[in-house]
A and B are shown apart, each in its own frame.
Chain A
Amino acid sequence: MAKKRIFNVEKGNVMQVGKISFAIIVMLLVFSSCRKKTEAEGSKGALAINVTYSVDGQSLEFDRMQYVNSAGNVYSVTRLQYYISHVALFNKKKGWILIDTFFLFDARRYPTQKIIMGNLPLLTYDSLRFYIGLPPSLNHHDSLPNTLENQEMIWPEMMGGGFHFLKLEGKFKEADTSSTISGYAMHLGTNVALVTVKLPVNIDLTGRLVAEVNMDMNVNEWFRNPYVYNLAEKPYIMGDTLRMQKIASNGQDVFTIVGVN
């Protein structure tokens, strides 16, 4: 009896040990699975964007009167500076994931400029969205670091304050046959001229930590769609809300994705 009991006890113990072992294994598997899931969710990746410039397929070359826009103006570019901010990526399950930051671009100084944004969930994304300019929360004088570069982009208080979103400047002739060369300055600023850009893109961050997107700005798009802008109509638009909004609308498709690595 005692033996049996012992046996039973032993058997029971064996069974108990078996149950406990099974439970531990299950729990370990669950924990392990949880840990893996937590690691996957906790790990963060980075997105690098390389920005280049062109004019309808030609690489942008500064100071050269060799480009023709949709209005038939022959023009050059002498300055191209702008902010990109509020970059966001779209994941089908998570929705828009915002990378709350801003970058100042100077195409003359940096014909190719790379920006890197980290802390991104390792997911797949199918859209990229950002502002050309600064959102209202950043568009006031004390919102950006006090650097020489940001100072040069300031939009005077008496014209509404904040920063220039875009400075696109150069020289133009109304038509190829024109003899008069004038200057133009497409300056965007104030909240009414904020440009939203949304681009379809396949970014897969599930198998790697860094994805690289190559993006090109076609300068001619600033003058093309939906408004064909003739620079002779008004070559200087700072403070002209109506015309700034036209150029801002055109700005929605100045960028295209030319590659994802």
Chain B
Amino acid sequence: MGRMFLLSLVLINLLLISCKKDKQVYTYSPTPYQLEIPEGFPQMPTNPNNPLTKEGVELGKRLYYDVILSEGGPQAGNSCATCHVQSRSFADNSPGVSVLPHVNLGWGTKHWLWNGSKQGTLEDIMMFEVEDFFQVDVSRLMQDTTYQRMFYKAFGKKEITSKEVAYALAQFVRTLISGNSKYDKYKRGEIDLTPSEKRGMAIFFSERGDCFHCHVPPLFTDFDMHNIGLDSMPADPEDWGLFAVTGDSADLGKFRTPTLRNVALTGPYMHDGRFQTLDEVIDFYSEGVKNSPTLDPIMNHNGGIHLNLTPQEKEDLKAFLLTLTDEEFLNNPAYRP
């Protein structure tokens, strides 16, 4: 009888221990994440509904690289990182494909995607990625105990929705900041540029090249929509740009200004990837711009729409553009899975 009693106690204890193991207790005490904003950069707009935390950023990074986002959806087998590769400044490395790089997007407040079809905050565009692009099946995430724990630690919720998935991705993307290129070091007085790079910079920041009006430093984009004269009368709807969204003829051929940060690595260039190299892009601005009623007024340089750069000026401009490569950003281990 005594043995039976002892045995029962042992079994009950084992059962209790086993139960305890099954019922994991997570704590919700998120740690604020401090962004390091490069010198000279504007303060990054924040979203009071989605404050950055270490737990949120960590979760966002895991999601960014995880194909679970696309399972069962139209992008099955892909994660964000499939098309946004760190070594390419979070742009695409597939031939013939052109995506906007995920760099310094935390400052984006105007138009999103090449044709500006989305507006709003970074959270809004990530919501589009989750619900429309990937069509994330949130239940798959909730079947994963690691995600259960990470979502709870990041948002204090056991039941998650698309919103928490989008918010976590937005938190990680906000940390993708590039601001330590050769150009930045030059601006901080740490190094000097070569004569060719300086001449290229003079072209960039003067009426000779007039690049700065749209590629506004230090982000080298104005996040705005412009028709730079790729086509005079585009027949393919893919080339209509903002017109395909608004139906307003004044928007024909307008596309969002891409950042030039790490531009040497973000090719192919333009919304359709029509230019493979920076040389082709510079040639286009020099001699290839096509006039149209919606060509951006700023493309009307001193009475003409072509820069007509000399071969030396082209080389110099390219040399300057190469100073925007930020090796620290491209190799930052904090961005790796």
Contact = CB atoms under 8 A, between A and B. Distances in A.
Given A146-B43, A154-B216, A235-B303, A184 B297 contact: yes
A78 B205 CA distance: 22
Given A63-B248, A147-B42, A159-B206, A235 B216 contact: no
A185 interface: yes
Contact of B300 (A151, A154, A158, A185): A185
B160 to A, nearest CB: 32
Given A156-B212, A171-B297, A184-B300, A146 B42 contact: yes
Given A151-B42, A151-B217, A236-B303, A185 B298 contact: yes
Interface string B290-307: 010101111111110000
A183 B295 contact: yes
Prevailing SS type, chain A contact patch: mixed
A158 B202 contact: yes
Contacts of A238: 207
Contacts of A148: 42, 107, 109, 219, 223
Give chain B's interface residue range (CB within 8 Å of chain A): 20 to 34
Nearest to B43: A146
B222 interface: yes
B203 to A, nearest CB: 10
B224 to A, nearest CB: 8
Contact of A235 (B41, B43, B248, B300): B300
B121 to A, nearest CB: 14
Interface string B266-301: 000000000000000000000000010101111111
A64 B109 CA distance: 26
Interface string B106-142: 0101000000000000000000000000000000000
Contacts of B291: 181
B205 A157 contact: yes
Nearest to B107: A148
Interface in B200-228: 202, 205-207, 212, 216-219, 222-223
A182 interface: yes
A208 interface: no
B250 interface: yes
B205 A158 contact: yes
Contact of A181 (B206, B218, B222, B293): B293
Contacts of A183: 295-300
Interface of A: 62-64, 78-79, 146-148, 151-152, 154, 156-159, 169-171, 181-185, 234-236, 238-239
